Amino acid sequence: MTAIDPTAHLTAEQIEELGRELDAIRDEVIAGRGEKDAAYIRKVISAQRTLELVSRGVLLFSIFPPAWLLGTAGLSVAKIMDNMEIGHNILHGQWDWMRDPKIHSTTWEWDHVSPSEQWKHSHNELHHTYTNVIGKDNDLGYGIMRVDEDQRWHPIHLGQPLWNFINACFFEYGIAAYDLELGKNLHKRRRKNPEFRARAKAVGRKIRKQVLKDYVIHPLLSGPSFLPTLAATFTANLVRNIWSHSVIMCGHFPEGVQVFERRSIKGETRGQWYLRQMMGSANISGSKAMHFMTGNLSHQIEHHLFPDLPSNRYAEVAVKVRALFEKYELEYVTGPLPKQVFSAWHKVVRLSLPNKKPKVKTPDRAQELVAA
């Protein structure tokens, strides 16, 4: 935690005013949602399906290296689209307003081993409510890493760059385990808890289907191209996993992003909640294609402020949000992907080593506000 609270200069009234200004931005987008937005998500979905279909078709001939390359690249992109711009955003309820049962958070299932139902709970509910609150938001380090100087160091943390790398490669399995709270639930009697067992079963079913499809059925369909197709799907999954892990690390991990203590969110107002989202997230700058491939999570700050606004609107919202950052003299953490990825990894490595305890404790915002 930083020694100095970067929001200390704001009064309670200012924070509430900021909240109202953000609400106004949100209302404006909601009032303007319509046909164009619906057409956008439909187009993205059919593009993704076409790309996946064509790529899998090409992979039937992946015994020929150019077909392998083309098919693998196409499938990687299709999987990224499925998880990022489509799956993540639909599961946030961003498109529920269309009332199309086929594009709805309650019916959508994604190309991922974590069943959407479980992911919605751990991601939408826990992570988005308790963003960056140590001990409450397990997305911070996924429970396997030390993420702040204030946390006690154990020798086991020396391994965290390695865990993080392994987690990146098998990210979807990491997420599934994380959604199951596997670490906690494998202990002692918890394993027998019927609720946990039901959820574990659901994950098992999903994994079986995913593995069967990617590593048995499609390779078998390819006949003589069995092995190349197997390698291609493995590669596509790997690419998708590393890509989404990188994007997601950039959301809350780069230097400059704040973390919060549990007690600091007690009795949090709407304005304070917004402020925490602003200080707890970081963006990625880049081209339109870049934003698209990250599922617009490059606009992580905007996404955390308004998780249920359609993703195609984050770019325009970002302009207004950024202006508010300037107005209230707050730091808008953003940068190109390589810089942000490096910054996040740097932190992982740095915190794998012991450090001196920071001298100044984080001021307790809630108390300060009472004083102000």
Partner 1 sequence: MTSTALRSRAWKLLEMVTTPLLPSDYLDLVSPLRAGADLRGRIEAVHPETGDAATIVIRPGRGWRGHTAGQYVRIGIDVDGVRLWRAYSLTSPTNRQDGRITITVKAIPDGKVSNHLVRRAKPGTLIQLDQPTGDFVLPQAKPAKVLYLTAGSGITPVMGMLRDTEFDDVVMVHCAPQPQDVIFRSELHDLVADKKLRLTEVHTDTDGMLDIARLDELVPDWAERETWACGPAGLLDTAEKHWSEHGVLERLHTERFRPTIVVAGDGGEVTFSATGKTVDADGATPLLDIGEEAGVLMPSGCRMGICFGCVTPLKAGAVRDLRTGEITEAEPGVLIQTCVSAAAGPCDIER
Query: Counting beta carbons within 10 angstroms of the beta carbon of residue 259, is it exposed (0 to 12), middle (13 to 18) or buried (19 or more)?
Result: buried
- Minimum Å distance from CB 154 to partner 1? 32
Please give the Cα distance from 210 to 229 (Å, whole number): 15
Taking contact as CB under 8 A, which single stretch among the options 34-42, 169-177, 184-192, 279-287 is the one that binds partner 1?
34-42
Tokens matching residue 23: 């609400």
Q: What is the DSSP string of 140-204?
A: TGGGTS--STTSPP-GGGGGHHHHHHHHHHTHHHHHHHHHTTHHHHTSGGGGG-HHHHHHHHHHH
Closest CB to partner 1 among residues 277, 334:
277
Taking contact as CB under 8 A, which single stretch among the options 120-128, 171-179, 316-324, 355-363 is the one that binds partner 1?
120-128
Determine if 99 is a binding residue for partner 1 (CB under 8 A): yes
Among 120, 199, 240, 365, binds partner 1 (CB under 8 A): 120
Closest CB to partner 1 among residues 85, 148:
85
Determine if 23 is a binding residue for partner 1 (CB under 8 A): yes
Determine if 149 is a binding residue for partner 1 (CB under 8 A): no
Among 8, 158, 221, 323, binds partner 1 (CB under 8 A): 221
Q: Which residues contact 154 (CB under 8 A, 6 or more apart)?
A: none
Maximum pairwise Cα distance, the chain = 74
Nearest Cα to 303, choosing from 178, 108, 124, 120? Answer: 124
- Minimum Å distance from CB 357 to partner 1? 33
Please give the Cα distance from 192 to 32 (Å, whole number): 49
Taking contact as CB under 8 A, which single stretch among the options 60-68, 212-220, 233-241, 330-338 is the one that binds partner 1?
212-220
What x-and-dash track marks residues 320-359 binding partner 1 by CB under 8 A? ----------------------------------------
Closest CB to partner 1 among residues 128, 339:
128
Determine if 24 is a binding residue for partner 1 (CB under 8 A): no
What x-and-dash track marks residues 171-210 binding partner 1 by CB under 8 A? -----------------------------------x--xx
- Minimum Å distance from CB 91 to partner 1? 8
Closest CB to partner 1 among residues 42, 339:
42
- Minimum Å distance from CB 52 to partner 1? 9
- Minimum Å distance from CB 329 to partner 1? 26
Tokens matching residue 25: 């931005």
Q: Which residues contact 297 (CB under 8 A, 6 or more apart)?
A: 84, 88, 247, 248, 251, 284, 303
Residue 123, SS3 per DSSP = helix
Residue 42, SS3 per DSSP = helix
Residues 284-313 that bind partner 1 (CB under 8 A): 307-308
Beta-carbon neighbour count of residue 258 at 10 Å? 21
With the C-alpha atoms ordered 216, 168, 124, 136, is the resulting torsion angle positive or negative?
positive
Closest CB to partner 1 among residues 88, 347:
88
Tokens matching residue 104: 């709805």
Residue numbers at the binding site for partner 1 (CB under 8 A): 23, 26-27, 30, 33-39, 46, 49-50, 53, 92-93, 96-102, 105-106, 109-111, 120-121, 124-125, 128-129, 206, 209-210, 212-213, 217-218, 221, 273, 307-308
